[in-house]
A and B are shown apart, each in its own frame.
Chain A
Amino acid sequence: MLEIRDLHASVGGNEILRGISLSIRPGEVHAIMGPNGSGKSTLARVLAGHPDYEVTGGDVTYRGEDLLEMDAEVRAQKGIFLAFQYPVEIPGVNNSYFLKAALNAVRKARGEEELDAVDFLALIRQKAKLLDLDTALLSRPVNEGFSGGEKKRNEIFHMAVLEPMLSVLDETDSGLDIDALRIVANGVNALRSPERASIVVTHYQRLLNYIVPDFVHVLSDGRIIRSGGKELALELEDKGYAWLDEPGHA
């Protein structure tokens, strides 16, 4: 589904990704872990097409197409979803109005008919319930005045409505209490299917108790220094990131 080969990327002239290679097949969940500043979030933003990040080398193929050639909105229309680490507050743009525009843009790109108001309302009510999202948040401006937990839940709510093929969760767990974490994980797990894949970027192992990954990759200084199964996450939790840098483990 996603083939990343020797990806290099920089922001403001600083190289952050220094040669990432990663292969993701349909049905898989990959966790990307690593210390702060290792490039985890950069990888997520580069995949979503953030204009501040410059790809300086390598290539990325998504379902047979050159991902790096696509604008951010085209990537989203083709099924890539980034759950933001810091969801943006957008005063004056109503949450459900925005989501309807997004959903219809995605549906149009898929060759599906746009949803009418009634069907859309039924859909978002159902998804809001799944994520235990206060329906009052649907009629408020996007993320404006939402608590940290509400913002993260709203991201997963958007994801549940848009039903992406490849979801990229950028530290969605940070700042969530255990109940919210469980709800967010349920939302992600509900989308798991043999056709879809996920990349879960996280600093902590905690989230991975609820979203069990097939693969865990450890990023350090812009490179994957270690890959393994879900047990690698537990090992990291036990020993921290420092042991990876010790001789004999890298």
Chain B
Amino acid sequence: MESSNALRAFEAMLEQAAPARASEPGWLAEARHAGLEAFRLQGIPTTGHEEWRSTPLAALAATAFAPAPTSAGPAPTAVGPLAGLGGNRVEIINGAPILPDGRRQGAGSSTFLLSAATPEEQAAVMRRLGRTHSLNSHPFAALNLALHGDALVIHVTADATEPLHIRHCALPSDRPFATAVRVLVVAEPNARAALVETFEGPAGGAYLTNAVIEFWLGDGAAVEHCRIQVEGADATHLSLSHAMVGRDSRFASTNISLGAALARYDGNASMVGSGGECTLNGVYVAAGTQLIDNHTYIDHAVAHCQSHELYKGVLADRSRGVFNGKILVREDAQKTDAKQTNQVLLLSGDAQIHTKPQLEIFADDVRCTHGATIGRLDADALFYLRARGILAEQAHTMLVAAFAGDVIERIADETLRGVVDALVRDALRAGLT
């Protein structure tokens, strides 16, 4: 593998972290080693790699990232719509989860750092950490396993009704740095949880977020997940979510991607118990020269499962969007019902979208539909609004917000829905002017 500044930097970070990790349990050391091997094998992908063909990472490869500064101070108080999120919050600052005494007991759930896990908890984590997906499927998720600090574990045992906010926060720094964060969510049978992740960072300054979150849903469990990516303008955001959806369980995730210079998100779900249902929705808004890449992958491994995907993108200026939706229906997954839709509004002649449905179906009694539309604002609707006295600019915003609203209104939690709606409107106003 060819060496690059970024590769050397990642190796140096591993070396630097080695002494602190000497006390980690053997299974974790093995997992980290496997992650590292898988990363070394894959390297930093070029656009010659099918899964990364629209996501140029040359700038990332050329950056000599420093390790994330520790004790860089407290996270700034959230401003704007994000301030409206509830107070049940765990902050992850420059990749390090902040949890006094390593543990917090909530109603229906306990949240802890892996370093503070009981032996019983450790055993449960061992069976799940890094095991939702193949390490060879995503180089940065593999790197993340090798590199992440203390993992944050959320163990949901009953009704965790109050949404938990995981606030990923990068702080200003005078040199580019890289974080690696790992979160594991384990929902016991019939447990319920709501989780909001926000990814925030300084307006300027380059940094790399590498975040992996894994979900394990027991039979009959229900998890609502929303991720709000509002990283700083010079950030690179690489992240992966993977949910193991058990029998009769329900996983719903909404991915709001508004920030970063380059954002690549892999939203995955494995349907591993019959009667399971998953929803992967998303809204992305890009302007300037932003690139927002969303890859989704739903693995229908067993029969009688449903999956729904609705992604809506708004691209202004010279921005680029990628949507790649892969649905695998294995031979045993009869009666699968999978629906995928990606709709894109291009607000400029220079904006680009690469959209690709990728259906691989090996069962014969299934219903799988996919659709992609790429369009511009409806001129008749625009005239209708203007003919009633609404300024052209406001009419634009109204129509684009309505387009994205179709996804936002499906967010179950009312407070969260309001926050997301306001954030998207702000992004649209900024992107349209």
Contact = CB atoms under 8 A, between A and B. Distances in A.
Interface of A: 48-52, 71-73, 75-77, 81-82, 84, 87-93, 98-99, 101-103, 105-106, 109, 141-142, 158, 162
B406 A109 contact: no
B52 interface: no
Contacts of A106: 389
Given A76-B389, A101-B390, A162-B389, A91 B402 contact: yes
Contacts of A92: 401-403, 405-406
A46 to B, nearest CB: 12
B306 to A, nearest CB: 24
Contacts of A162: 388-389
A62 to B, nearest CB: 15
Contacts of A52: 379
Given A51-B383, A72-B383, A101-B394, A90 B388 contact: no
A105 B391 contact: yes
Given A88-B384, A93-B398, 8 more contacts: A51-B379, A73-B389, A73-B395, A76-B388, A84-B384, A90-B384, A91-B406, A98-B385
A8 B128 CA distance: 74
A71 B392 contact: yes
A223 to B, nearest CB: 25
Interface residues of B, number: 23
A141 to B, nearest CB: 8
27 contacts: A48-B387, A50-B387, A51-B383, A71-B386, A72-B386, A73-B391, A76-B389, A84-B384, A84-B387, A87-B384, A88-B384, A90-B384, A90-B402, A91-B402, A92-B406, A93-B402, A98-B390, A98-B398, A101-B390, A101-B398, A102-B390, A105-B389, A105-B390, A105-B394, A141-B402, A142-B384, A162-B389
Nearest to B384: A88
Contact of B388 (A71, A91, A102, A109): A102
A88 B380 contact: yes
Which of B383, B389, B399 has the most chain A CB atoms inside 10 A of its CB?
B389
A201 B298 CA distance: 55
A107 to B, nearest CB: 9
Contacts of B58: none
A30 B38 CA distance: 79
Nearest to A73: B386
Contacts of A49: 386-387
A198 to B, nearest CB: 16
B17 interface: no
A153 to B, nearest CB: 16
